[in-house]
Amino acid sequence: MLDRTALIYRYDGTQDGLLCCVYEAMAKREQPMMILSAREMQSMLFEDRFIETDPAVARRVADAIRGRISEDALTMVGRALLTHLPGKEIHLLDVLRRAFREGPGLLSNLSDPAVYKLNRAITFLEREAHLLTGFIRFRESDGVLTAVIEPKTQVLKLLAPHFTDRFRQETFLIHDRTHGEALVHRAAGAAGRGETRIVPVEAFEQAPPGAQEQAFQRLWRAFFRTIAIEGRENPACQRTHMPKRYWAQMTEHQPESAWPEALPLSPVQGLCP
């Protein structure tokens, strides 16, 4: 039987940290009421224990998950930690504990409440990352591309391969305002691929666009308006495919008055045939 003493685990919010929590719970046969990351430091009335992150322990747990459950189970852990599912750590502990006993088939059993919640949250994460590969709008300033997003989930890890592959010769930054972090990529030089990291960034303000950037933004808004067919406008359908919560950061949904001076298109003359 598990020890169900009122207990809260705290950890550093990383995947290795969560795997150490799994080890602690299984080794001591405990069932914590909650597992809270460093971002969730509210005070509680119950016993509070911080679980130190030990890379060696995390590797042992990861190897056990691969060997006794599946590689997909370890992928599930990493993806689930990026979601906005409340209590995701407890759901993961519950599913992993039972999957060690029952085998990998548990992970495909969507009639299980914990498995279903994790699967639904991961699907939302992956869909949001997919949408943002098309919805992110960069702004150029002093040779650096910057963009701001406000996603519900921590999508930067999923976005990194897409944008570093397409913009490997560019230096860019994507700031996740919701979670206070940024994907930063330094342009690849003659000697290599460049460098990509996700770093904590609590506050970030984009530099005001220069003359050429403003001209490009106006061209994009003009293109967006021009391809629209007035008689076939369907706002409900548009919001289905382009959820309105993303519009605040999308150039085509900004008014022309966003920047006070209407600059001529001359800065981009000659760029197009």
pLDDT at site 192? 65
Block residue for tokens 């809270």:
36
**Residues 111-148: pLDDT tens digits?**
999 999 999 999 999 999 999 999 999 988 888 999 99
Which pair of structure tokens corresponds to residue 167?
Answer: 């913009």
In this prediction, residue 50 carries a pLDDT of: 93
Are 185 and 210 contacting, i.e. CB atoms less than 8 angstroms apart? no
> Given this model, what pLDDT does residue 41 score?
62
Q: Specify the pLDDT at position 2.
A: 55
pLDDT < 70 positions in the chain = 1-5, 41-45, 190-193, 256-273
- Dist CA 185 CA 104 (whole Å): 37
Six token digits for residue 222:
């003009």
pLDDT tens across 204-239, in order?
Answer: 888 777 788 888 888 888 888 888 788 888 878 877
Task: Write down the pLDDT at residue 190.
Answer: 58
Beta pairing partners, 30: 3
In a 13 Å sphere around the CA of 216, the CA atoms on its Cβ side amount to: 13
Report the alpha-carbon distance of residue 146 to residue 173 in Å, rounded: 5
Instruction: Answer yes or no: are the C-beta atoms of 118 and 95 closer than 8 Å.
Output: yes
The crossing angle, in degrees rounded to 10, of helices 113-135 and 71-80 is 70
Q: What is the three-class DSSP state of 198?
A: strand
C-alpha to C-alpha distances, 134 to 163, 167, 198, 267, nearest whole angstrom: 11, 14, 20, 26
| Prediction pTM value | 0.83
Task: Please state, in angstroms and rounded to a whole number, the distance separating the CA atoms of residues 211 and 29.
Answer: 64
pLDDT of residue 231: 81
